[in-house]
Amino acid sequence: MIMIDGSNYEEYLVRYADGELNAAEENALLAFIAANPHLEGEMELFRQAHLVPDETVTYTNKRLLMKNEPKKSGWLPVILKSGNMRYAAIAASVALVIIGFAVWKHDQGYQSSNIRKEVLASRPSVDTPKADKVLVNPQVANTAITNQHDSFEKIPTLNKHNHNISSSSSVRIAKTRSIRKSVIAKDFFTENSNNNSQNAGNNQTTSVYRVANIEKVKPSEMHLAPAVDSFRIAPATLAREMPPAVKAIPVWDEQEFSLMDQIRTRVQLLSQTVASGVSRFRDKVDNKEISIRF
Amino acid sequence: MNEKEYNILVLDLADRLFRFVCKSLGSSADADDIVQNCFEQLWLKRQQVTAAKAKSYLFTIAYRECIDLYRRKSRRLPETAPGWEAPKGIGLKKVLDEALQTIDEQSRLLVLLKDYEGYSYEEIAHITDLSDSQVRVYLFRARKKLKEYIVNIENVI
């Protein structure tokens, strides 16, 4: 039981003004004041006897009290710890993965080309008596070229009338490794020519086709047989006849080329996005729109 | 407490600590020295004092520094401000500022801790190393004196 009377009411008034009374004490005091209304003025005076801080008074030497924080400079921590730059880093990682995939795909294309060459080279060669010289019908040969998608080169015509080569004359070509590959291709045309020769009714053709784009054949590797009658092909001519191209063509279909174009376009867009994001972030840092804390 | 937390405390509490000391001593120069000393000690004790306890630590040091300064100078303000005359229409804030100088230093510091910083009696007892009953008595005497001062001024006006 809280007893408030004339001997202690001021203490309760002070504690009430300071907010230090509990609920029971407050109720008891308010009841006492209600019973003694002439004390309300005194309660108001105690309430007014409180100081209010002057906010205009400030301490002006705060900078002297502050300590230097360890500096963390450099763009790397800024990039790694910035929320915006996290996305840029992720985008850059994705771009690297895409580029790596593109390079891998490109290499795979070259490997496929090489495998194809090896398969051609590993096929058993068919040595036919007339395999050294291939006489085909140009129309048939052209058709075969179109169907097989291989690259062949038409070499200058060896016309017997112009060069005095008899129909039985042949240019024996030594079976070097390079030539063996060409022989394989020759077989195909030989067959075609044989199949069509009867229809053509003429074994003597005016054009000779030779496999190209397989390997470079050096003129020194070409050996002219002594059976050549009254005609020798100058080494320079042979060099001109043999295609110097060694370049292997990647075996990519249209779908792969289309995919590569899409990848290239997306990588370019991604790099532009990353660059613009970094530029905007640096501008904001320079303009102090973004504060970086570590 | 690291450098960053310490600097934040400087920015947040330096003004409040300065007002408290300046109002207690009535001298901005003395208050400046005490504020510097408080933060210097806080910095030296930064390994032991957490940021949450830093405010109480600062006001404890400031309170002790004020008491020491009072004792060193043996400076006791007169019961009433010398030559002060209450002008008509003066505001309550001005009257209270003057009335504050009429009470003893110990009570003045407690009143300022209560009114400026809003500490409870228990917290004030912890900061000043006094008992709860002592704090209650000091504050009761101070409030009663402030009230009487206000009444006398009203009588004059």
pTM of the model: 0.48
Q: How confident is the model at residue B136 (pLDDT cuts 50, 70, 90)?
A: very high
Q: B8 and B74: one domain?
A: yes
φ, ψ of residue A150 to 5 degrees: the values are -100, 160
User: Cβ of A58 under 8 Å from any chain B Cβ?
Assistant: yes
- Report the pLDDT averaged over residues B115-143: 92
**Per-residue pLDDT, B94:** 82
Q: B2 and B75: one domain?
A: yes
Q: Contacts of residue A52 in chain B, CB cutoff 8 Å?
A: 93, 115
Q: B31 and B96: one domain?
A: no
Q: B1 and B56: one domain?
A: yes
Q: How many CA atoms lie within 13 A of A290 on its CB side?
A: 16
Domain of B32, CATH number, reads: 1.10.1740
| ipTM exceeding cut-off 0.90 for this assembly | no
Domain count, chain B: 2
Instruction: Give buried/exposed letters for B70-80 (b at 16+ CB in 10 A, else e).
Output: beeeeeebeee
Q: Contacts of residue B93 in chain A, CB cutoff 8 Å?
A: 51-52
Q: Which of B14, B97, B144 sits opposite A59 (nearest CB)?
A: B14
Q: B1 and B65: one domain?
A: yes
Q: B13 and B57: one domain?
A: yes
Name which residue leads in pLDDT, A55 or B113: B113
Q: How confident is the model at residue B141 (pLDDT cuts 50, 70, 90)?
A: very high
Judged by CB atoms closer than 8 Å, whether chains meet at B97 and A11 is answered as no
Q: B57 and B20: one domain?
A: yes
Give the minimum alpha-carbon distance from A89 to chain B in angstroms, rounded to a whole number: 28
Q: B96 and B66: one domain?
A: no
Per-residue pLDDT of chain A (294 residues; tens, 9 = 90+): 678 888 888 999 999 999 999 999 999 999 999 998 888 888 888 888 888 888 888 888 888 888 877 665 555 555 555 556 667 778 888 889 988 888 887 777 666 666 666 666 666 554 544 444 444 444 444 444 444 444 444 444 444 444 444 444 444 444 444 444 444 444 444 444 455 544 444 444 444 444 444 444 455 555 544 444 444 455 555 545 555 555 555 566 788 888 888 899 999 899 888 888 888 888 877 777 666 655
- Could you give the CA distance from residue B10 to residue B58 in angstroms, rounded to a whole number? 10
Q: Are A91 and A274 in contact (CB under 8 A)?
A: yes
Domain boundary among B80, B99, B121: B80
Q: B94 and B156: one domain?
A: yes
Domain of B121, CATH number, reads: 1.10.10.10
**Cβ burial, residue A117 (10 Å; 0-12/13-18/19+):** middle
- Could you give the CA distance from residue B99 to residue B26 in angstroms, rounded to a whole number? 13
Q: B29 and B63: one domain?
A: yes
| Residue of A14, A21, A46, A59 to mutate for B, most B C-beta atoms under 10 A | A59
User: Cβ of B132 under 8 Å from any chain A Cβ?
Assistant: no
**Element holding A154 (H helix, E strand):** strand A152-154
Domain boundary among B63, B80, B97: B80
Query: Structural domain of residue B149, as residue ranges?
Result: 85-157
Q: How many CA atoms lie within 13 A of A280 on its CB side?
A: 10
Q: B3 and B75: one domain?
A: yes
Three-state DSSP class for residue A125: coil
Domain boundary among B57, B80, B103: B80
Q: Extract long-range pairs of A276-279: CB within 8 Å, 24+ residues apart.
A: A277/A84, A277/A85, A277/A87, A277/A88, A278/A85, A278/A88
Q: B92 and B155: one domain?
A: yes
User: Cβ of B45 under 8 Å from any chain A Cβ?
Assistant: no
* CA separation, residue B41 to residues A251, B35, B113, B149 (Å): 78, 10, 20, 38
